[in-house]
Chains A and B, each alone.
Chain A
Amino acid sequence: MPQIFRRRSNSVARASILGVVLLLGVGGWTLDAIWWSPHVTRVNVPIEQPVPFSHEHHYTGLGIDCRYCHTSVEKSSTAGIPPTYTCMTCHSQLYTDAPLLEPVRRSLITDTPLRWNKVNSVPDFVYFNHSIHVNKGIGCSTCHGPVNKMPLTWKANTLYMKWCLECHRNPAQFIRPREEVFNMGWLPPADQLAKGGELVEQYHVNTRQLTDCSMCHR
């Protein structure tokens, strides 16, 4: 009976093992890259809105405080998107015939809310609460990025569980004095860990339970 496998087959076999390993590696890497790309996470992708509302213009240009529009952020679980009435406190007099603002005016006249597209959201099985974060010294920009530079709003972080936990394991990395929560230009000082540690003490941050599953899944 003639030989089925030639001597050469040994090297072919070895090469193909290497090939499979490489294929898995490259394939895995590609999948990972896609999984974490903006395509899937929607991070840094500006979201189209019915009215091209610009935080850059209204906050940085005009100096309107976040709480003028997001009124409930300090006292409730949601920050709240402002009602049409809030826009019209100024736009009843300003840009009154700009076509850009037509949907806003129509919304007020017909008494139907504007439908803004959601930028940040967590799944329904996750419990999130703004007021506790804001009152314990976590700033808007830590989670939402440079909103003051956004002509159209985008999401600055994945909001995945991994991301929440990165902070919940050690909030001292990100915590800041309460007065700075609304300061979009705040930068952590060189000794953030030490300063942060003091603030964690001072604000009685409940670090023992922050990574309990029932904290966020209730």
Chain B
Amino acid sequence: MKQSFRLTLGCGLALLLTSGCRREMYEQPKDKPQSASDFFPDGAGSRPLVSNTIARGHLNQDEQFYTGKKGTNLIENIPIPVTRQLLERGRERYDIFCSVCHARTGDGNGMIPQRGFPQPNTFHRDSLRQAPAGHFYDVITHGHGVMYSYAQRVEPEDRWAITAYIRALQLSHDATLAEVPPSERARLEGGRP
């Protein structure tokens, strides 16, 4: 009787040993994006690009598309077909990344300048109307004065989409009623946007 009790107790205790430590599966020895790491000296799990290498799909050979320049000159026109889809994408990206400062209309009086940030120039001045398309691409990529670079946040294709949309804003800002297609004119004349 006493022996079988000890045996049962022993087996029971041994069984406990087989249960793993809960943390093993919950916190595995791997790094997720942006997690801290005690393996790498800089403490970051996400690794920077190894120098003198190019990430897959980032060869970026098309100079005009990826720099907005030909040699050292800014290119005059957008190097990809401007479609309705590109413009819609441009509007979306512009509203996300630029409108807080440049305002949805492009006049430069966005919410952040209203809170004390230096106010940017309106896009509707002649110097910017006549500026080559490459200028806008270049400003998004490298920043301009107090405006920081958006290269990390806006991908090359989206930078051209935004450029196309700024062109559309410039065009529509000074459009006359005669330039509006007849089918849309009625809505404007009716006083409704």
Contacts and interface: CB of A to CB of B under 8 A. Distances in A.
User: Interface residues of B: mostly helix, strand, loop or mixed?
Assistant: loop
Interface in B33-53: 33-34, 36, 43-44
Interface residues of B, number: 26
Interface in B135-170: 146-148, 152-153
A94 B112 contact: yes
Contact of B25 (A65, A67, A94, A124): A124
B96 interface: yes
Nearest to A65: B96
B32 interface: yes
Interface residues of A, number: 27
Nearest to A118: B35
A85 B26 CA distance: 32
Interface of B: 25-28, 30, 32-34, 36, 43-44, 95-97, 100, 111-112, 115-118, 146-148, 152-153
Interface of A: 62-65, 67-68, 71, 76-78, 80-81, 83, 85-86, 88-90, 92-94, 112-113, 115, 123-125
16 contacts: A64-B100, A68-B96, A77-B33, A83-B152, A90-B112, A93-B116, A93-B118, A93-B146, A94-B117, A123-B27, A124-B25, A124-B28, A124-B30, A124-B32, A125-B25, A125-B26
